[in-house]
Structure 1
Amino acid sequence: AEDGEAKVHKRFTPKLNEEISSDSETESVGRNKKDAEDLEIEETAQEKKLRLAKLYLEQLRREEEEKAEEEQLESDLIGGRLQEEVLEQKGKLKRLLAKDYLPPDLSEIRLLRGHQLPVTCLVLSSDDKYIFSASKDGSIIKWDLSCGKKIHTIHGGRKGTEDRHVGPILSMAISSDGKYLATGDKNKLILIWDPAKCQHLHTFKGHKDAVSGLSFRKSTHQLFSASHDRSVKVWNVDQNAYVETLFGHQDAITGLDSLSRERCVTAGGRDRTVRVWKIVEEAQLVFHGHESSIDCIQLINEEYMISGADDGSLALWTVTKKKPLVMVRTAHGIHGDPGIQQPNWITSVTALLNSDLVASGSHDSKIRLWKCGEGFKTLEPLFDIPMVGFVNSLKFSGSGDFLVAGMGQEHRLGRWWRLKEAKNGIYIIPLKKMENKQQSGDSK
């Protein structure tokens, strides 16, 4: 059996290992060529249509692959935008833009006049087409941002008027879809308007003192209001309904802001606290740091905010720490005679949403722009914009191309003193940026 197995093994080994002679190779090639010709004749007769169909399908497959690659590229671009939106929702998107801004050309600044008394508050529509401003004279004006023309004026009403403000308007907010405009006044009322037609829709009553802060939650018609009665109220504007009241501040609330989350932030004036109100959790976070009355507050994104006080201090906060990340004292200098000098109050703050650019206003004849440093742990001055009067309201356009200032001869919340040289009005400040910065950097 062993010999038999060996013989079988030897019998097959030469076929596996031996080289084929040239004669055999020629003979094999000739045979293969003949076989191929026979196959071609057979294919031409029977399978030509199938072969052409396969070629067509292969062409379609290649075209589909190219199309899929293009779609994937487009999907990646859309995915990047969606990722930005998700980060924005979470409050974690941060655009580093401040370093690109340059001092504006002062000759390009426009003044819009229309209010008789100091401008107290203003908002921009989300498409940056319109400005809505309000004043101590009780009037509301809708402006065209591009040409600076007045589109509509809602004059203040006389005592007993139901669909107009009687007396100073202190706060204003517009919904992100532009469907509702809300205004709050010294007489405890919140009026809801149709911004397109400038028509009165509804009046909310409930606060027991002046309404000093208003904000719509982003992409909703949920409205937050703050008052000198120390409370925050929540309203459903679609239903013309009151929702709830939040208590905690120990003094008049002077400012309020909100973004996408179901929460708002407030400045507590003389109780010297900043508070974050978590609506769903029915909780509030209390932040301490300012040593004087906190008069204004603005969210930079969902995680960080900036506040200003009447001792001249500016503070940057994160919602995860109870103390400021950084505080700049006498951010707008001091005034008065030697020995009785006082810091210039911070009267307004604003931020270019989800970026490192913020601005502050006072009554020291300038608006100051700042860069938030890494981790929001520093606040570095960029440049000043000359502006005479009380800077009662500041807003960046969504694009960051403009800064709009609401100016007055008096502070929005009182008449402590008057700057006669100031003009009551709206200033539109075109902002300049470094051009082709990226290209010049790449070329190096």
Structure 2
Amino acid sequence: MSSFFTTSGAQKKRKRAVTTSDSPKKRLAPSSTPKPPAKSRPASNKTIERDESISGSDLESDVSGDEILDQESDDAASDESENEGETAAEKRLRLAQRYLEKTRQEVDDFGFDAEEIDRDLLAERLQEDVAESKGKIYRRLASELDFAKADHTQFRWNSNTVTGVAVCPPYAYTTTKDGFLTKWKLQDLPKDQWPQTTRKKPRKPPAPPKRKPERIRYSRSDPKKAKDKMFKGHTGGILTVKASQDGKFVVTGGTDKRLVVHDAETLTPLRAFTQHRDAVTGLAFRRGTNQLFSSSKDRTVKVWSLDELAYVETLFGHQDEIVDVDALAQERCVSVGARDRTARYWKVPEESQLVFRGGEKKTSKNVPAGSAAHEGSMDRVAMIDDDLFVTGSDNGALALWGTHRKKAIHVVPYAHGIEPPLKLSEVSAEANPDPKVIPAPQPRGITALRTVPYSDVILTGSWDSCVRVWRLSEDKKKIEPVGILGSSVDPAASEEGASLINRSAVVDNQTEVAEGGASSSIVRGIVNDIALFERGDRGKDGLCVVIVTGKEMRLGRWKTMKEGRCGAMVFEVPRFPKQQKKMTTEESNGEVVMSEDED
């Protein structure tokens, strides 16, 4: 047995450094010879105190240092020979590893793994990003949004027809036929806007005040500069507007054949392009970029790069004026050619196009005999994802198209119903006119169309005093009705998909209601355009929809409404409250079972 007299001087010196010296270098020096148990216990008081502080503060454990000491004393017979020569740092590491192992075993017993939950959330987010990069639909929002309880606020500035609207949160931009471009600041919702719950009982915060959007600034076209080629602004009415996602540019197109790029902050015109030979009717930004597509009555689609403020190329193919265009993330776009009754899917890098022909006559049992059902003009288009898009026509048909099929996948006839029949006295001035002179009831055309990109939500507008909500079926082969924006009417669908004819009842010449008693006074006027954006991260706080209305259509005056109103409306669509899941534990046969109770 080793003793003080037989131990070498170097070992004596190291032992004195461990017991008396506070130098970290000497304390952490490795020991090659085991220490006697009788001598090491009194000399490790400071080490034990230091270990107690680690287990109580650094490890944030509810296991005290005394419990660790007692546990080690119980296992001293088995561990003493292995741990005699360890330093203070090695002992702290061993205790930390033991605590982590114990915690891991407790977590495994209850079946809860935070790492696995984080991994699942990350995997879901990555799946969404991959789906968006591939251009596929990946979200089902129609069942998560409460469109019937959408709060609405009206706002207006001048009394001219509003033709277009664009949004770039928190701002909205509107245009009018008399050449005004106006910038508005939308309402910022409070953080506790949507229903929340506590452990005690559900609690719903009060609704936010219906504050009207604030007008920030405006710019106006100057007809006197029509002959000035150096003028950077508009010289006539404005028909369409779009804002870039980065908030730098606002682009407008008008009847003066000009495409004007404005600074989004000040609305100062940066440059006016005059390559189009007729009125500019539609604009669409490529998602996430400053590449722009424009459509015109000159039967062309032009491509622009706003980063360089330069013209890129022209796409030819339509046989009639192009009235609308839309695009998503890929370098492709879809346009509709009015009375050539075609939708064209342009693949810009490949310099090719796909042609989709409409104009087929659709009949329905709910339609009165002799009513006009032929598609005369394709007026609106919106992309759902990079393979699916929808079109709206003057005969009220809402059609779903896919890039792998030339014919429409599904058609909803008379999506907004038909006009009431004219009175006999309005048709003829004779004393006893023949009832046959009354023309067949005409359908309400689709004047506005918008989708939430890469989701199943579709919004349409007409002059039936409402904005209708539709969804894409799970098999992506049908369009199903959801409801009316801001109204609790239940649009029960027929087998054809969503024929709303049998639910339109005439009250008088000015006012109509649908079955169920809901008034049609939500929207006053012809809906000329729709813009929307999702509030919060990926729409967790709902959907904001902005529509613009007028007494006449944006491209003409063949349909007017004397009772209409020229202005705009903001709809705040909340999400349905999430079902709160309570985790309860039940012990069965000595095992812990996790069960879920849904409120």
Q: TM-score, normalised on structure 1?
A: 0.83
Correspondent of 1:203 among 269, 272, 283 = 272
Structure 2 partner of 1:388: 524
1:349 deviation in Å? 0.8
Distance in 2 (CA, whole Å) between partners of 1:71 and 1:120 is 52
Query: Is 1:84 matched up with 2:136?
Result: no
Letter in structure 1 aligned against 2:532: F
Alignment of 1:216-365 (within 5 A): 216-290=285-359, 291-335=375-419, 336-337=421-422, 338-365=438-465
| TM-aligned CA deviation for residue 358 of structure 1 | 0.8
Residue 33 of structure 1: aligned partner: none
* 1:182 aligns with one of 229, 240, 251: 251
Q: 1:442 to 1:151 in 2, by over 3 A?
A: farther
The DSSP-based 3-state class of the residue aligned with 1:215 is strand
Mapping of residues 40-59 of structure 1, within 5 Å = 44=84, 47-49=85-87, 53=90, 56=93, 59=96
SS of the counterpart of 1:334? Answer: coil
Higher mean C-alpha displacement, 165-174 vs 253-262: 165-174
Matched residue type, 1:368: R
Q: Which amino acid aligns with 1:118?
A: T
Q: Which structure carries more strand by proportion?
A: 1
Cα distance in 2 for residues equivalent to 1:163 and 1:420: 35
Closer/same/farther in 2, CA of residues 245 and 436 from structure 1, 3 Å limit: same
Contact 1:115 1:139 in 2 (8 A): no
Q: Is the 8 A contact 1:139 1:165 kept in 2?
A: no
Distance 1:42 1:296 in 2: 80
Task: Evaluate the alpha carbon distance shift between residue 379 and residue 437 of structure 1 in structure 2; reply closer, same or farther with a 3 A threshold.
Answer: farther
Counterpart of 2:467 in 1: which secondary structure? strand
2:163 and 2:442 mapped to 1: Cα distance? Answer: 23
Deviation at 1:271, TM superposition (A): 0.7
Aligned-partner SS, 1:315: strand
Q: Which amino acid aligns with 1:130?
A: Y
Q: TM-score, normalised by structure 2?
A: 0.62
Corresponding residue to 1:93 among 131, 134, 137 = 137
CA distance in 1, matches of 2:174, 2:466: 20
Gaps spanning 5+ residues in structure 1: where?
1-35
**Counterpart code for 2:132:** E
Instruction: Answer yes or no: is 1:422 the counterpart of 2:422.
Output: no
Q: Is the 8 A contact 1:104 1:430 kept in 2?
A: no
Counterparts of 1:120 and 1:188, CA distance in 2: 16
* Cα distance, 1:73 vs structure 2: 5.1
Preserved CA contact (<8 Å) 2:128 2:138:
no
Pair 368,59 (structure 1): closer, same or farther in 2 beyond 3 Å: same
Q: Which secondary structure does the structure 1 equivalent of 2:225 belong to?
A: coil
Aligned AA (2:232): D
Write out per-residue CA displacement over residues 185-227 of structure 1, whole angstroms, 9 at most, x where no aligned residue: 1111111011122221111120111111111111111111111
Decide whether the 8 Å contact of 1:349 with 1:360 is kept in 2. Answer: yes
Q: CA RMSD in A?
A: 2.8
1:87 and 1:202 map into 2 onto residues whose CA distance is 36
User: Structure 1 vs Structure 2: percent identity of aligned residues?
Assistant: 38
SS at match of 1:250: coil
Aligned counterparts of 1:284 and 1:353: Cα–Cα separation in 2: 22
In structure 1, what is the Cα distance between the partners aligned to 2:336 and 2:127? Answer: 32
Aligned position for 1:3: none
How far does residue 443 in structure 1 lie from its aligned partner after superposition?
A: 1.7
**Among residues 113, 117, 121, which one is paired with 2:160 in the alignment?**
117
Q: 1:341 to 1:240 in 2, by over 3 A?
A: same
Please name the residue that 1:373 is paired with. 473
Shift of 1:329: 1.0
- Worse-superposed segment, 75-84 or 260-269: 75-84
Match of 1:153 in 2: 218
Q: Does 1:443 align with 2:527?
A: no
Partner deviation per Cα, 1:371-401 (whole Å, 9 max, x = no partner): 2212232222222243221110012222342
Aligned partner of residue 220 in structure 1, secondary structure: coil
More displaced 10-residue stretch of structure 1: 391-400 or 409-418: 391-400
Q: Is the 8 A contact 1:116 1:137 kept in 2?
A: no
Candidates 174, 187, 192, aligned match of 1:133: 174
Letter paired with 2:167: L
Contact preservation (8 Å) 2:233, 2:271: no
Query: CA–CA distance in 2 between the matches of 1:236 and 1:166?
Result: 23
Would you say the 8 A contact 1:314–1:328 is kept in 2? Answer: yes
Aligned partners of 1:233 and 1:186: how far apart in 2? 16
CA contact (8 A) 1:258 1:265 kept: yes
Report the 3-state secondary structure (helix = DSSP H, G, I; strand = E; otherwise coil) of the residue aligned with 1:80. Answer: helix
Tell me which moved more, 112-121 or 227-236: 112-121
Secondary structure of the equivalent of 1:159? helix
Return the offset for 1:439: 5.1
Give 1:99 deviation, angstroms. Answer: 2.7
Give the distance between the partners of 2:98 and 2:232, measured in 1 at CA. 67
Aligned equivalents of 2:532 and 2:412: distance in 1? 22
* Alignment partner of 1:144 is 2:185: yes
- Matched with 1:22 is none
- Is the CA contact 1:316–1:376 (under 8 Å) kept in the aligned structure 2? no
Distance 1:236 1:61, change over 3 A: farther
Q: 2:446 is paired with a residue of what secondary structure? A: coil
Question: Which structure 2 segments of 5+ residues have no match?
Answer: 1-75, 105-112, 188-210, 360-374, 423-437, 486-521, 583-595
In structure 1, what residue type is equivalent to 2:292? L
1:410 aligned partner: 552
Change (3 A) 1:40 1:298: closer
Cα 1:442/1:137, change in 2 over 3 Å: farther
Distance 1:374 1:43, change over 3 A: closer
- Between the aligned partners of 1:315 and 1:222, the Cα distance in structure 2 is 27
Deviations 1:222-279 (A, max 9, x none): 1111111010111111112111111000100010011100011101111101111001
Partner of 1:19 in structure 2? Answer: none
Contact 2:137 2:384 in 1 (8 A): no
Task: Tell me the CA shift for residue 434 of structure 1.
Answer: 2.8
**Is the Cα contact below 8 Å between 1:84 and 1:93 reproduced in 2?**
no
Q: Distance in 2 between matches of 1:42 and 1:92?
A: 60
Q: Distance in 1 between matches of 2:580 and 2:357?
A: 41
Cα 1:94/1:253, change in 2 over 3 Å: same
2:417–2:444 CA contact under 8 A, matched in 1:
yes
Distance 1:82 1:344, change over 3 A: same
